Homo-oligomer: A and B are copies of this chain.
Amino acid sequence: MTYCIGIRLDAGLVFLSDSRTNAGMDQISTFRKMMVYERPGDRFMALLSAGNLSISQSVRELLQVERIEGAPGEPPITIWNARSMFDAVRVLSASVRRVYEQDGHALKRHGIDFNTALIFGGQIGREPMRMFLVYSEGNFIEATRETPYFQIGESKYGKPVLDRLINPRTSLDVAAKCALVSMDSTLKSNLSVGLPLDLLVYRAGELRADSMICIDEFNPYFQMVRSTWGQRLREVFDAMDNPRWDGGDSAHPLLASSERFEPLTKIVSPDTRLAAG
């Protein structure tokens, strides 16, 4: 599997991807899942991919040359001349559909789904930054202020911490830290997600990616996040009151009856009931 996160903040964009690919438990490899397309000073775009690796590699390759019809009298649109991220994601959508035309039928004959999921975000000229989630079918949705992040791949383990901590006003550094914590939880619970990680932080308006790093198991910052988060989590957990079944003098008694719901009824063995009767 895969785990990738894309976050769109007021201050910029954060992208994080793992690099484990597996075709069965005994065929595990390392493939990077982040691609950056840019013309410095004019446009910056980043693509994260999950799903069937042959599909996403083809999409990434095609995206560089794919063209869709432009307005009447205008040249075809590519990611290099698109005037908006919306047009650029339409080019990505066309790439996905072209790969489907090439490979979809043959995959289907072998019972393999055409399975890909892509996060595509960036900025073109003076347009605001935008981020999209593109599905296998080539259709897509855009991140909003209410839902400023997308995940693809093994997304569930690392979702609660993002839900708790991310909003559009979060700073880039804090969002990068949060993405790394979310990745750490996923690494801890799912074998199909693995190091190294690629982390990219894009500052609004810069139109080039300057902060990119490949994080392996020896990265001092990620080592600190992993050990600190695990240890502090345990301290917070230990510091919370344990449940008191008798209520005791606790400020937070466990044993308060629910007004709406009855206690569970036990099924008692028939002979016990007989004996009791």
Contacts and interface: CB of A to CB of B under 8 A. Distances in A.
Interface of A: 32, 34-40, 42-43, 64, 80, 154, 156-157, 159-161, 163-165, 171, 173-174, 176-178, 180-181, 185-186, 188-190, 196, 198-201, 209, 211-216, 218-225, 228-230, 232-237, 239-245, 250-264, 266-272
A91 to B, nearest CB: 13
Given A160-B188, A177-B240, A267-B64, A258 B218 contact: yes
Contact of A262 (B39, B157, B214): B214
A177 B241 CA distance: 9
B225 A240 contact: yes
A220 B236 CA distance: 19
A243 B176 contact: yes
Contacts of A241: 221, 224
A237 B165 CA distance: 9
B269 A38 contact: yes
B185 A243 contact: no
Contact of A258 (B189, B196, B234, B264): B196
B164 A230 contact: yes
A220 B222 CA distance: 37
Nearest to A260: B216
B38 A243 contact: no
A173 B218 contact: no
B269 A37 contact: yes
Contact of A264 (B39, B189, B212, B271): B212
Given A216-B260, A220-B252, A267 B188 contact: no
Contact of A215 (B200, B258, B267, B268): B258
A226 B190 CA distance: 25
A254 B219 contact: yes
A177 B243 CA distance: 7
Nearest to A155: B156
A219 to B, nearest CB: 6
